Amino acid sequence: MVDIDKAIIARYKKEGENFEILVDCDKALEYREGKYVALEDIVATTEIFSDIKQDKKPTKESLMKVFGTENVDEISVKIIKEGNIQLTADHKNKLREEKRKKIVNIIHRNAIDPKTNLPHPSERIEMVMNDAKIKIDEFKKAEAQVQDIVRKMTPYLPIKFEIWEVAVRLPATIAGKAYHTLKEFGKLLKDEWQNDGSMVAVVEIPAGLHEEFETAINNLSQGEAEIKILNRR
């Protein structure tokens, strides 16, 4: 059970009724984003309140009207998933910064500068986000915010998302070891082992990862691998 002194209020309002529970902020937000967290590690109370500060509880009728059940666990899950989680200013800032870093990383790893076909450095992306006065939603998943953020950044910085199909010929000496590296970078579309023990593969990777991918393969093969871009889309 969560320490009640460190818990915050999660509130759900519907049909003129108010319902509240106490939760661990971090755990509640993780659960809300789809991560598995046991309910007992999220909630600090085993009751539903209409007003926690005044120790008021809702009627059975109001619970049935809004939730269709009196089961505390089911109601708590609904409140956590769909209600309003009250955050402190510090916590909001922390969440925004975490989301900001994740968004920068997504753009850096998945997009390129169409003029150079190279990924934009993270520092440049951060600077342009500041210039474009990008606002981060601390509750919304980073992946769900990228498209709108990139649209707002485009007048300041050319950004293009592309997926590349890259062919690789790996010498027999490192084919087995490099096989796992190929799968770490993207989707393995094709792998054919040759009679001499070498391997020919086609990997689908985000364009922004190509430079990093090429460096990793060349380091493993000591420059003996052959790498060729087959398709861009």
Is residue 137 domain-resident? Answer: yes
pLDDT band at residue 194 under the 50/70/90 scheme = very high
Looking at residue 90, its pLDDT comes to 83
| Averaged confidence pLDDT in the chain | 92
Last residue in a domain, options 160, 190, 222: 160
Looking at residue 1, its pLDDT comes to 65
- Are 75 and 30 contained in the same domain? yes
Query: Which pLDDT tens digit goes with each residue over 89-135?
Result: 888 898 899 999 999 999 999 999 999 989 999 999 999 999 999 99
Is residue 16 domain-resident? Answer: yes
Is residue 2 domain-resident? Answer: no
Helical residues (DSSP H) of the chain, grouped into ranges: 25-32, 60-67, 72-82, 89-110, 122-131, 142-153, 175-185, 210-221
Please give the C-alpha separations between residue 191 and each of 166, 168, 180, 212, in angstroms, as whole numbers. Answer: 12, 9, 12, 21
Range of the domain at 119: 89-160
- Are 39 and 63 contained in the same domain? yes
- Are 49 and 102 contained in the same domain? no
What mean pLDDT do residues 14-40 have? 92
Query: Which pLDDT tens digit goes with each residue over 136-155?
Result: 998 888 999 999 999 999 99
pTM exceeds 0.75 for this model = no
Please count the structural domains in the chain: 3
User: How far is C-alpha 202 from the geometric centre of its chain's CA atoms?
Assistant: 27
Query: Which pLDDT tens digit goes with each residue over 58-93?
Result: 999 999 999 999 999 999 999 999 999 988 888 889
Distance CA 103, CA 140 (A): 11
Q: What is the CATH number of the domain that holds 104?
A: 1.10.10.900
